[in-house]
Chains A and B, each alone.
Chain A
């Protein structure tokens, strides 16, 4: 599993996040929350091996992620990035098949039976089987998000990283996307999800990592992480947190704050 050890993230000489440490456990969904620009996406990219930490390291099963060859890394860690360019002239199946690239030697151009099996399984888990031959650009936002998740599932990686998978989605489609993530984790894998909605994070994640003020303010259960003082430090506004009778916490903005 992936472990972030005392990582500092920077662009050029500008360090914007320091001393980040946490480890993922098998079966776990971790939500990454914090204000815009705090470095959630960059932290996710670092966990995918696409951004080298300025200090510290990201470790996969005891090996530094940066030292692992890109294709081998892509077989272990799948990243669903937030916004990609529009992709035209491609069927859903073709797009999901791209998830098999890390397994395909350069001389083999077409999918082998194992690739086809992984693609079919990913399509079926995301309930896209009946859309497989449709053009991607003809799908709705909710369906497109499921295609990107299916592509990542076809990678058969043990760690899934998702950057704001619920932006542009209504409640129902957001729930559907996050249920897919939960089902993925339930197989003994791990997932990290960047979210802006604190209540979605509390509802779907086992743990929440709250980033703010250039550091990891807390990484713990939703009850531990959604702390009014810490949320004020992170977002600079007053956010009230209430505990419901079932023990869950609910956060809402206080307009007087």
Chain B
């Protein structure tokens, strides 16, 4: 996909606009739910942490962690997608390529079969996601570096293997809580999580995001191809390990609190490139903000469309987001 050329001032203006939209999205989304609060009430509550009023209580106990988790999942998956697309020079790559989500889904399925309690699932998912990504990276290892082709092969095949295990569990498990729990995971959801899950996932996601930003110059050099990047003195092997490692950390942090949320990590990098160009120094922050806005908005919709039922977040994103993206992509091409 051809991305446009952008001047620095226009890029800075775009980032500021995205940041503004992000804050507005947080305020509006926090007000959506069984009880609605106008943005002014949300802003007032934000200034009074765990205040005494009912609104303060609801917002601080339920809504704020929820919208922040949505923001974290969106930003983390988009950044991970952008990192891997940049490393593999392939716009079809999504953050789940490292096998992180399939490994996590498999571990969650097995944990549910063995009757593990729900609160333990985020930890199980996180550990499994990181372990799977490490296994994929180990399989893709050549010499001192990671081969792009081997990473794709290892990631896709291990993901297929774990997806097979999940299906097997779904077919064999008694049609009770186990299969429902697995299905909820596969559909993606942010319900039933709060500050504890958010805080430790945020820790890992922030570490991954910082590493991603530090890798921006290397990602820019990799746009020219591995050989040219090497000739410019870039340690390509180290950059590859850094990219795979931070993408795995970001993806694991996201799937541990939301389950499978598809589409975001694949599409948002394309949108970000259209907005600010392919220079990673601008594209990565734009990606994080756009991804956060998208998931915060989608999560608010999932709660608001047919209350009191919550639609699965990942399903909603696919149903609404994919046609919108296809329209944008092909409409523009036709024009």
- A124 nearest CB across to chain B (Å): 21
A-B contact pairs, 9 of them (CB 8 A): A50-B230, A50-B231, A73-B233, A84-B224, A89-B277, A89-B278, A94-B279, A98-B221, A101-B233
Q: Could you say which residues of chain A place their CB within 8 Å of the CB of B221?
A: 98, 101
Q: Could you say which residues of chain A place their CB within 8 Å of the CB of B1?
A: 88
Contact A104 B217 (CB under 8 A): yes
Query: Which residues from chain A sit less than 8 Å from chain B, CB to CB?
Result: 48, 50, 69-75, 78-79, 81, 84-85, 87-91, 94-95, 98-99, 101-102, 104, 106, 109, 133, 135, 137, 155
Q: Could you say which residues of chain A place their CB within 8 Å of the CB of B216?
A: 109
Question: Which of chain B's residues has its CB closest to A136's CB?
Answer: B5
- A201 nearest CB across to chain B (Å): 23
Interface centre among A88, A94, A99 (most CB of B within 10 A): A88
Question: Which of chain B's residues has its CB closest to A73's CB?
Answer: B233
Q: Could you say which residues of chain B place their CB within 8 Å of the CB of A95?
A: 224
Contact A91 B227 (CB under 8 A): no
Knowing A89-B273, A91-B5, A98-B221, the reply to whether A106 touches B231 (Cβ < 8 A) is no
Identify A106's interface contact among B4, B217, B273, CB under 8 A. B217
Please measure, in the bound complex, the distance between the C-alpha atom of A72 and the C-alpha atom of B233, giving whole angstroms: 7
Identify A81's interface contact among B217, B231, B273, CB under 8 A. B231
Contact B230 A84 (CB under 8 A): no
Contact A89 B217 (CB under 8 A): no
Name the interface residues of B216-244: CB closer than 8 Å to any CB of A: 216-217, 220-221, 223-225, 227-228, 230-235
Assuming A70-B233, A88-B3, A90-B5, what are 12 further A-B pairs, CB within 8 angstroms? A48-B231, A70-B230, A70-B234, A74-B231, A79-B231, A88-B278, A89-B2, A89-B4, A90-B279, A99-B232, A104-B217, A106-B214
Contact B5 A135 (CB under 8 A): yes
Query: Which residues from chain B sit less than 8 Å from chain A, CB to CB?
Result: 1-5, 89, 214, 216-217, 220-221, 223-225, 227-228, 230-235, 273, 277-279, 281
Contact B5 A81 (CB under 8 A): no
Contact A101 B217 (CB under 8 A): yes
Q: Could you say which residues of chain B place their CB within 8 Å of the CB of A69?
A: 233
Knowing A85-B89, A98-B220, the reply to whether A90 touches B231 (Cβ < 8 A) is no
Interface centre among B216, B231, B279 (most CB of A within 10 A): B231
- B140 nearest CB across to chain A (Å): 20
Contact B227 A50 (CB under 8 A): yes
Question: Which of chain A's residues has its CB closest to B232's CB?
Answer: A101
Please measure, in the bound complex, the distance between the C-alpha atom of A188 and the C-alpha atom of B216, giving whole angstroms: 35
Question: Which of chain A's residues has its CB closest to B214's CB?
Answer: A106
Please measure, in the bound complex, the distance between the C-alpha atom of A50 and the C-alpha atom of B228, giving whole angstroms: 10
- B253 nearest CB across to chain A (Å): 24
Q: Could you say which residues of chain B place their CB within 8 Å of the CB of A81?
A: 225, 227-228, 231
Please measure, in the bound complex, the distance between the C-alpha atom of A101 and the C-alpha atom of B231, giving whole angstroms: 10
- B220 nearest CB across to chain A (Å): 7
Knowing A84-B228, A88-B278, A109-B281, the reply to whether A74 touches B233 (Cβ < 8 A) is yes
Q: Could you say which residues of chain A place their CB within 8 Å of the CB of B2?
A: 88-89, 137
Q: Could you say which residues of chain A place their CB within 8 Å of the CB of B89?
A: 85
Knowing A50-B227, A84-B225, A89-B2, the reply to whether A102 touches B232 (Cβ < 8 A) is yes
